[in-house]
Structure 1
Amino acid sequence: MQSLTKAEEQIMHIIWEKEKCLIRDIIEDLGNPEMPHSTVSSVVRILEKKGFVSHKAYGKTYEYFPIVAKEDYTKTGLKDWIGNYFNGSPSQLVSFLVEKKELKLKDLNELMQQLESLKK
Structure 2
Amino acid sequence: MSINNSKPTESELEILQVLWQKERCTVRDVHETLAKKDAGYTTTLKLMQIMHEKGLVERDTTAKTHVYKALLNQEKTQQQLVNKMIDNVFNGSAARLVMQALGNQSASKEEIELIKDYLEKIEGKY
User: Does TM, scored on the shorter chain, surpass 0.5?
Assistant: yes
Letter in 1 for 2:121: Q
TM superposition shift of 1:9 = 1.4
Unaligned stretches of 5+ residues in structure 1: none
Q: TM-score, normalised by structure 1?
A: 0.76
SS, match of residue 25 in structure 2: coil
| 2:60 is aligned with 1:53 | no
Structure 2: any 5+ residue segments left out of the alignment?
none
Considering only CA atoms, is the larger Rg found in Structure 1 or Structure 2? 1
**Aligned sequence identity (%):** 25
TM-score (norm 2): 0.73
Distance apart, 1:67 and its partner CA: 0.8
- CA shift digits 1:31-73 (9 cap, x unpaired): 35x8533211101011112221011112442110011011111
Deviations, residues 62-110 of structure 1 (Å, cap 9, x unaligned): 1100110111110000000001012223234345557x47698x56643
Q: Deviations over 1:7-43 (max 9, x none)?
A: 21111111111111111111221135x8533211101
RMSD: 2.8
Bigger Cα displacement from structure 2, 45-54 vs 77-86: 45-54
- The number of aligned residues is 116
